[in-house]
Structure formats: structure tokens, C-alpha cells
Amino acid sequence: MTYVVTKPCIGTKDRSCVEVCPVDCFYDIRDPKMNDEAGVGPAEWANDDDSSDEEKKNRGFGMLIIHPDECINCGACETECPVEAIYEDTGVPEDQQSYIQINADLSLAMNDAELDKTRITSRD
């Protein structure tokens, strides 16, 4: 059993969940294709900075995911999410079941360097 981030996170990427995670199992997936497929623009906060810094490129696109092998199932993140995008894997709504596999596939496909680069913590 693990927690899963679903579609409402796309175009939002609020980090309230990250702030309460005791094990830092969240990753920032910056993929504009996710926004296109969901029909939403980038997170509003991403437009606050006119920086051309490559590190910030695409930061408002995509979504946060939870690494299923790192999540300790504490549930702290679920109640903190302002857009109700986080569910226990057994409670994901029927129309968002694909996000169980999306979280797993994206996190398990990354090597250690990619995990280190995309991990987000309350200290970020």
C-alpha cells in the first residue's frame, strides 16, 4: 500500500504535501506533455519569475509523484493537498486509476542521479 498523486496536481504542483512528508518521497516531474494531455496550463506560481535560468525551465509543468518504494504510508500528505490529488492506492477514483501506474513507472524508471535531481524536500 502506498499513496499516489493524481491528475489535479497537474497545473498546480502545490508543495504542501512535501512540507509534511517525513521521508522525502516526492519527485518533481517537469513534463509539458502532461499538461497538454490534461488540458491545463503550467502552475500559476511558475509565472512569478521571469528568469531564463535553465534549472527553472518547465518547473510549472508536469506534476509531483510519490515513489512507491519510499512512501511509508503515513497519510500526512493526503490531508494537506489543497486540490485533493493524493489518495491511498486502494482509494484512487476510478477515472484516475492510471495514475497508480504513472507514479510507479516514472519513479522506478529513474536512476539514482535522476532521483537525486528530481527529489523535492521541505528544505527546497
Domain residue spans of the chain: 3-120
- The residues of the chain scoring below 50 in pLDDT are none
Element (H, E) at 88: strand 86-88
Among 106, 114, 123, which residue's Cα sits nearest to residue 34? 106
Residue 56: what pLDDT?
Answer: 58
User: In this predicted structure, what is the pLDDT of residue 42?
Assistant: 80
**Residue 117's pLDDT is what?**
94
Taking the C-alpha atoms of residue 65 and residue 103, their distance in angstroms, rounded to an integer, is: 5
pLDDT the model gives residue 109: 96
Instruction: Tell me which fold the domain 3-120 belongs to.
Output: Alpha-Beta Plaits (3.30.70)
Q: What is the largest CA-CA distance in the chain?
A: 41
